[in-house]
Structure 1
Amino acid sequence: MPDEFADLLSGARMSFTVQSKKPINESGEKDYVGMTMKVSTEDSDLVEYRLIDDYVYIRSDAAALGEALGAPVPSARDLPPEAGAFKKALEGEWVKIDAKKMEETTAELEAESGFEPSPEPTLDARTQKELLEAVRSTLAREVDFKTSDTEDDSEHIIATAPFRTLITELLGEIRPLAEKLPPGAELPTDKDLKEAPNAEVTADFTLKNGELTEVYVDLAELAENAKVKELGLQVRLSEGRTPTAPADATELDIEDMLGGFGSAMMSEEDFGEEDF
């Protein structure tokens, strides 16, 4: 990971909202009617994504992302008039994509090239239950839990465990189920696990009125030679805002995006051949 990208992420905040016709834990793909995701820093909103009905809406700070990844993007001023929505995208404005049309066009291109997509990976109900039981038994055996109350009537659960021991024991429980896992779900080897840090890692769970509201983990504890003393990952759960469609979004043509002008945008001339 380039240092510039690590610096960018170290102060980033990501918010995610999903809206469904049913309770989330009972929802399937067809029940979701809106989603939003935004990644921000102190300086700007890096990228924002919304899925409303049949359209995907996207805007980003392309210059900041390109600089952080070490692959500067072309300036919008240098694009020809026919660039259309691509120019709007590079200027940080909203663009929208017809999700159904994109799916149809992608399928047509795959058919023309002879590409056959792999079936969606799935787990049968029995395997899911066995995996859940493996996780539960490992956590009960290897993790030390402590509870405490606070002045605002919330409850804290502090979970502590040696990282390498926890992961090794958990994978030991899962390995007998490996043949039932979806293709490509390869488990780390014993050799891989020996290189994992065995530091004590602590997760702080906050509950209010019996509902989980916050989780905090210091990721620096996972790095034995970390240059920083603390790298906190904080997750908060709350009621989200109703996703809405931006009124001023410019439609991005699918054919332009998947071929033609879109391919030219990703040419070696623009981005070089660096590996990250």
Structure 2
Amino acid sequence: MSGAKVSVTVESKKPLEESGEEDLVGMAMKISSPDGDLVEYRVIGDHVYIRSDVETLGKAMGSPMPSVEDLPPEAGGLKDALEGKWVKFSTKEMEDLAAEGRKGGDAPAPEPTLDAKTQKKLMKALRGVVAREVELKTSDGKDGAEHVTATAPFRTLITELLGEIRPLAKDLPPGMDLPTDKELKDAPDTDVTADFTLKNGELAEVDIDLAKLAEDAAVKKLGLTLRISDGTTPTAPAGATELDLGELMGGLFAVPGTAEDGEIDVSGLDDPDFPQDEL
């Protein structure tokens, strides 16, 4: 993890600070390790493109990934994916399959959202916490750059920030579970410093030592650096194999032993000769 690098490029029809999701026309993300690129992912127009170095990815994760020989004949384009080639699928096809799966059921409830007035109120409260708990110092750097160091007691800062967010928890998107007060008591009670570099008034780099977030860390320092710079235009890779999502869902992920009407056929499971330990 200490040698990992994540690169993200986003292209929009508008300046990023004014952009919504509908304004994005391209996105690319690449995760690399000292041993090479692990995964690359691009969204261009109506297609998603993916490739990965399966062997290197398995090494980084500490567990082997499936090989081409492990796949059934109907796997199709997944074989190219396991061989490190570019594959792609249609976002519209994925949406159509999801909509088809919802047919006959209740319409999904709209996701919780914070209204604009509540967002402004929350941001004002969070700024107040930062102004109260974070100590800022500035200094000049090379080539006209400005350095700002922000130091704060980690446990106090995170507890107060979450204290402002907690009353709005019911309006947050699904899956955003906030830590409990009991869990926050286990957060390190130490000062943490982030170093910000500004060039021409714009944020260019942020550095923070993650080892400070664990009082009993095995390493003395684990630096995390975020750099912001001009991106490159995301482009669609040539020769990507098209994945048939319907075929994958109907073939590769089908449950063995299913009846024609789609229900799982469990006949014979009560047979005394059935290998129950393998069920």
Indicate whether the TM-score tops 0.5: yes
Q: Is the 8 A contact 1:134 1:174 kept in 2?
A: no
Report how many aligned residue pairs link the two structures: 255
| Equivalent position of 1:93 in the other structure | 85
Query: Displacement of 1:238 after TM fit?
Result: 0.7
2:216 is equivalent to residue 222 of structure 1: no
Cα deviation digits, residues 236-272 of structure 1 (max 9, x gap) = 00110000000110001111333311458xxxxxxxx
Q: Is the 8 A contact 1:217 1:234 kept in 2?
A: yes
Q: Is the 8 A contact 1:38 1:49 kept in 2?
A: yes
Determine helix, strand or coil for the equivalent of 1:123: coil
Query: Displacement of 1:188 after TM fit?
Result: 2.5
| Equivalent position of 2:41 in the other structure | 49
CA distance in 2, matches of 1:259, 1:69: 29
CA distance in 2, matches of 1:90, 1:183: 32
Please, which runs of 5 or more residues in structure 2 have no aligned partner? 256-279
2:228 is equivalent to residue 237 of structure 1: yes
CA 1:87–1:180: 2 relative to 1, 3 Å: closer
Instruction: Give the TM-score of the pair, scaled to structure 1.
Output: 0.86
**Pairing of 1:65-214 with structure 2 (within 5 A):** 65-79=57-71, 81-111=73-103, 114=105, 116-182=107-173, 185-214=176-205
| Equivalent position of 1:254 in the other structure | 245
CA distance in 1, matches of 2:48, 2:171: 34
My pick for the range that moved more, 168-177 or 237-246, is 168-177
Query: Displacement of 1:29 after TM fit?
Result: 1.6
Determine helix, strand or coil for the equivalent of 1:227: coil
> If you compute each CA radius of gyration, which structure gives the higher value, 1 or 2?
2
Q: Is the 8 A contact 1:127 1:180 kept in 2?
A: no
Query: Displacement of 1:165 after TM fit?
Result: 0.9
Query: Displacement of 1:61 after TM fit?
Result: 1.6
Q: Is the 8 A contact 1:123 1:182 kept in 2?
A: no
Q: Is the 8 A contact 2:72 2:252 kept in 1?
A: no
Cα deviation digits, residues 181-222 of structure 1 (max 9, x gap) = 455544332212111111110000000000000001100000
- Write the letter of the residue equivalent to 2:64: P
CA distance in 2, matches of 1:185, 1:14: 23
Structure holding more helix per residue = 1
CA 1:83–1:126: 2 relative to 1, 3 Å: same
Please, which runs of 5 or more residues in structure 1 have no aligned partner? 1-8, 265-276
Q: Is the 8 A contact 1:160 1:203 kept in 2?
A: yes
Determine helix, strand or coil for the equivalent of 1:164: helix
2:13 is equivalent to residue 21 of structure 1: yes
Query: Displacement of 1:71 after TM fit?
Result: 4.5
Identity of aligned residues (%): 64
Instruction: Give the TM-score of the pair, scaled to structure 2.
Output: 0.85
CA distance in 2, matches of 1:16, 1:162: 30
- Write the letter of the residue equivalent to 1:61: D
Query: Displacement of 1:171 after TM fit?
Result: 2.4
My pick for the range that moved more, 118-127 or 184-193, is 184-193
